[in-house]
Amino acid sequence: MIEMIVDSVRVNLVNPNRVVVLKEPDRNRYLAIMIGGSEADSIAIRLQERETLRPLTHDLLLNAIETLGGTIEQITVYKLIDQVYYAKIVIVTQDNKFEIDSRPSDSIALAVRVGAPIFVAEEVLEAAGIEPREDNFDEELEVDAITEDEIKPFADFIKGLDLDDLGRAQ
């Protein structure tokens, strides 16, 4: 298992998916995992050290774990099958150690809340890891770059707008 840190949470401009990017601290190797919007927001809110008025789902889960006497020891992304990542949350209590099946996004959202280490199996990194060259670093981390054909309908729409009506009450 290789320890990783959360490098960033990125937005895919073509579709509603978000990506959490993990980075190996001592090496320029990354792992990008597609995640849902609410999980991305939950991770980003914690990374930015922002507070919410009420607990988010991951805060609620953490509160339940801690109330029952558990602590999150680590999370592991241990398997990749057909582009689906598998993770476990390792929870320790006074008497037991539990490994709970989880989506990587949920386990990462918990890990960032308590500063728990994030581990990824070497075979997962070998299969899906990215080790960009310095000269095209941003290009290799790009997720689903927008093509000219995909942006054409939006460009046509904008060109067809009547800007003279802008700001007038209907």
Using CA atoms, how far residue 2 sits from 25, 88, 104, 136, 163, in Å, is 10, 14, 15, 24, 54
What gap in Å lies between CA 140 and CA 129, rounded to an integer? 11
In total, the chain counts a number of residues equal to: 170
Look up residue 156 and give its amino acid. Answer: D
Q: What is the pLDDT of residues 156-167, one digit of tens each?
A: 666 665 555 555
Tokens 């054409």 belong to which residue? 152
Do strands 2-11 and 118-120 pair parallel, antiparallel, or not at all (unpaired)?
antiparallel
Q: How far is CA 43 from the centre of its chain?
A: 7
Q: What is the pLDDT of residues 70-90, one digit of tens each?
A: 999 999 999 999 999 999 999
Using alpha carbons, select from 69, 47, 68, 65 the residue that is nearest to residue 57: 65
Work out the pLDDT band at 49, boundaries 50, 70, 90.
confident
Structure tokens given for 13: 């401009």
Q: What pLDDT sits at residue 151?
A: 66
Look up residue 89 and give its amino acid. Answer: I
Look up residue 170 and give its amino acid. Answer: Q
Q: Give the global pTM.
A: 0.74
Tokens 């009506």 belong to which residue? 165
Q: How far is CA 149 from the centre of its chain?
A: 28
Q: What is the pLDDT of residues 14-25, one digit of tens each?
A: 777 889 999 999
Structural domains in the chain?
2-162 (3.10.690.10)
Contact predicate 43/159, CB 8 Å: no
Look up residue 109 and give its amino acid. Answer: A
Q: What is the pLDDT of residues 100-149, one digit of tens each?
A: 999 999 999 999 999 999 999 999 999 999 888 765 555 555 555 566 66
Using alpha carbons, select from 109, 101, 135, 90 the residue that is nearest to residue 47: 109
SS3 89: strand
SS3 35: strand
